[in-house]
């Protein structure tokens, strides 16, 4: 992170050097109560927002943004707001491709710079869709680990949201291990369970997948 980048207020604390965040929520209300102030703060600072979510959630999501004062039509026209569907990003081509998604994340963050925005605040509401049949669990955790190899080149915060009703304890633990910062109970914490991507990937290589449908 560059020395001139300011800390970002978020969920009762601040984001500083580490900006790859896992956010655990038990309800949509809890999620939006935590995330909307963060999103609105970015708009007020003249930053870009890029949100990924299930296509059926697009209009309710835009309505929530409008309800807190975001002119979503103008923001999209000016490319300050991007709202993308899971089907066109994480599941582009009909399946989850970690390499393609790592490239796309970097493309989105580079695009924000090219457009002249100081930061892009990326929020991805996707894990439930990726993990629906549980066959992608191992590839998903590996992907989250590998993000830590590319995101240090950017100052932009990347928030990965998780519905605690839809994931197992095993997956939740590995999600924590792949994020240096976490939101639990609506509050932001530096994550003591975080380990390096090399360690995570090595463990999968040596022991195989531990994921099972609950």
| Domain contains 15 | no
Instruction: Give the number of domains in the chain.
Output: 1
Domain that holds residue 65: 21-207
| Domain contains 8 | no
CA 21 → CA 15, 70, 94, 98, distances in Å? 9, 23, 26, 18
Interior angle at CA 196, CA 122 and CA 131, nearest 5:
55
Please, is 168 exposed, middle or buried when counting C-beta atoms within 10 Å of its C-beta (0-12, 13-18, 19+)? middle
| Domain contains 10 | no
Q: What is the pLDDT along the chain (214 residues), one digit of tens a residue?
A: 444 478 999 999 999 999 999 999 999 999 999 999 999 999 999 999 999 999 999 999 999 999 999 999 999 999 999 999 998 999 888 888 999 999 999 999 999 999 999 999 999 987 667 776 667 788 999 999 999 999 999 999 999 999 998 888 888 999 999 999 999 999 999 999 999 999 999 988 776 556 555 4
pTM: predicted TM-score of the whole model, two decimal places: 0.92
- Provide the 8-state DSSP code for 84: E
Q: Measured between alpha carbons, how far is 34 from 25 in angstroms, rounded to an integer?
A: 9
| Domain contains 213 | no
What's 185's domain CATH number?
A: 3.40.50.300
204, 161 in Cβ contact below 8 A? no
């Amino acid at each position: 992170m560059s020395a001139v980048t300011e800390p970002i207020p978020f969920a009762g604390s601040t984001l500083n050097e580490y900006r790859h965040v896992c956010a655990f929520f038990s309800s949509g209300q809890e999620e939006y109560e935590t995330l909307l102030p963060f999103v609105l703060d970015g708009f007020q600072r003249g930053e870009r927002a890029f949100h990924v979510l299930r296509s059926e959630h697009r209009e309710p999501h835009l309505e929530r943004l409008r309800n807190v004062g975001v002119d979503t039509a103008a923001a999209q026209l000016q490319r300050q707001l991007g709202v993308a569907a899971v089907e066109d990003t994480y599941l582009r081509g009909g399946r989850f491709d970690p390499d393609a998604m790592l490239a796309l994340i970097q493309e989105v963050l580079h695009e924000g710079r090219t457009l002249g925005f100081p930061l892009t605040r990326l929020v991805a509401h996707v894990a439930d869709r990726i993990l629906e049949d549980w066959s992608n669990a191992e590839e998903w955790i590996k992907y989250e680990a590998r993000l830590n190899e590319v995101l240090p080149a950017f100052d932009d915060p990347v928030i990965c949201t998780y519905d605690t009703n839809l994931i197992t304890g095993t997956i939740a633990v590995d999600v924590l291990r792949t994020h240096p910062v976490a939101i639990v109970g609506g509050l932001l914490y530096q994550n003591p369970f975080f380990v390096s991507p090399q360690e995570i990937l090595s463990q999968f290589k040596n022991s195989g997948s531990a994921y099972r449908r609950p």
